[in-house]
Homo-oligomer: A and B are copies of this chain.
Amino acid sequence: MNKTTINDVAKYANTTRSTVSRVLNNSPLVNPRTREKVLEAIDVLRYTPNKTARSLKSGKSHVLGLVYSQQQISEVLMNPGVPGMIKSISERAQSEGYNILLITSAGVDYKSYDDLIMKHSVDGFIVSGAMIHDSLHEVLDKAKIPYVYNMKYSESKDDCYVTFDDVEGGYLAAKYLLDLGHRDIKLIVGDVKGTVLSFNHSRIAGFKKALQEYEIPFVDSMVLRTPGDMDSSYHFIASLFARERPTALLLSNEVTSTAALNALIDKGFSIPDDVSLVAFGYPDFFRYTRPSLTTVGLDIVWQGNHLVDMLLQRINDPGSTPAAMIKKPELVVRESTKKAP
């Protein structure tokens, strides 16, 4: 450990802690000559201020907690979109003078999670949570710790989140397929502990809206649920196509999309000749599958950056409730879609 403290610097520069501290904090209340001496001392002694002491004094850690729910971490961290978000969050945070503490144990047991939150080691949380413990926001609110979500999580009006317009996303995708003449379309959504997540509800709504424009009645069997992991999804799609022959699939995430693609290829279906595929997710990922997939692209870099910005706003101006940010997704047409057969 570098045991050089502010006192060592003061001694070397023939002054006191107070003055050194002023130099460190760019106070104008210090004689240029003294400042010189102090800076020299800092340089010679290779002194750097102890961040922990500063945190204790200021009550701010300049650390942001990035929370992944347990169920997310198992599948989703493998997900190509997540590292991109981690990267954008981390880099934005660092450019603002904050570090990222990665928290992946959330939800394992509630108590440990609570503990972690309450130890004051972070100034706020970015919660990336499909199925975060329900009372999480109560705990956070009670503790007055700022937080932001990557999706609309509760129905509470003053929720802070940065996410995408999934109604629009579902609409865009469905309309595109309908335009191509598809009529037997399945929307495949992830099933998390028996629940359909809010963004999937939105996509379903967008899907219905498009159907309505085409005066096609919605029937329940147009929306199918599958567990989120690769193998389950694979078998789900394979057995679906053993029974039925929809002409187009709307896939709600990267894992399901990959699984569907593989299952269809393995069963001898041709994409897009037999089936058209549209995937929701990280825009670039599906450039690198073969065939490349038409994608409702979610701009994860934008999301990561704004999650940080919004959280910092809440931290710097406690009590403020920044308005949720919602971005329209963009349809990227690639090789996996064509006119209905």
Contacts and interface: CB of A to CB of B under 8 A. Distances in A.
Interface of A: 1-2, 46, 48-53, 55-56, 59, 61, 63, 66, 73, 77-80, 82-84, 86-87, 90-91, 94, 99-105, 115, 118-121, 143-145, 230, 258, 261-262, 265-266, 288, 290
Q: Which 8 residue pairs of A and B lie closest in terms of their CB atoms, listed nearest first? A: A48-B118, A51-B119, A51-B121, A90-B104, A100-B102, A52-B55, A77-B83, A94-B105
**Copies per complex?**
2
Contacts of A230: 288
A51 B101 CA distance: 14
A95 to B, nearest CB: 8
A1 B77 contact: no
Contacts of A59: 1
Contacts of A290: 261-262, 265-266, 290
A115 B48 contact: yes
A305 to B, nearest CB: 14
B52 A2 contact: no
A53 B51 contact: no
A2 B104 CA distance: 23
Contact of A52 (B83, B99, B120, B262): B120
19 contacts: A1-B59, A1-B145, A49-B119, A51-B120, A52-B121, A56-B56, A63-B101, A73-B87, A77-B87, A78-B80, A79-B83, A82-B83, A83-B86, A87-B104, A90-B102, A90-B104, A100-B101, A261-B290, A262-B288
A101 B104 contact: no
Contacts of A82: 83
A63 to B, nearest CB: 7
A94 B99 contact: no
Contact of A120 (B1, B100, B119): B1
Contacts of A91: 73, 104-105
